[in-house]
Amino acid sequence: MTDKPLLILIAGPCRSGTDGDPQAMAANLTRLETAARPVFAAGHLQVIGEWTALPVLRSAGAGPTDPLADQVLYPAAGRPLAQCDAALRLPGESAGAGQDVATARRRGLPVHHDAAEIPRRTPQETM
């Protein structure tokens, strides 16, 4: 158990393996977001890089398959990772998630592969 809420980056495939199919990317984002609930239930705060990147792309009139996406998606995950206490790596091939894990390890952060590995906060602190 831990006494303070951790900021945890959830990393996994979003564009990878989709061939630019918007429905497949949406399904991948849903998979990332589904992992947010157990992180929150453990008493922590979750962040997904796409949550910070997609508004930047939309405001530039672009989307995740636009050439601008490569300049936004990876840095958008890397910036919150500089503030994170840990990462949760979901299964699946993903260059961006691989970069996130490498950055987390370089910073000495724990990288979990299952939400059950994340330390829970004491019950009175999760309220």
Give the model confidence (pLDDT) of 8-57 as tens digits: 999 999 988 888 898 999 999 999 999 999 999 999 999 999 999 999 99
The rounded distance, in Å, linking the Cα atoms of 87 and 67 is 27
Give the model confidence (pLDDT) of 75-96 as tens digits: 887 788 999 999 999 999 998 8
2 found inside a domain: no
What does pTM read for this prediction?
A: 0.89
Q: Nearest 5 degrees, angle CA 110-CA 34-CA 72?
A: 70
The CATH number for 37's domain is: 3.40.50.10400
What range defines the domain where residue 44 resides?
7-125
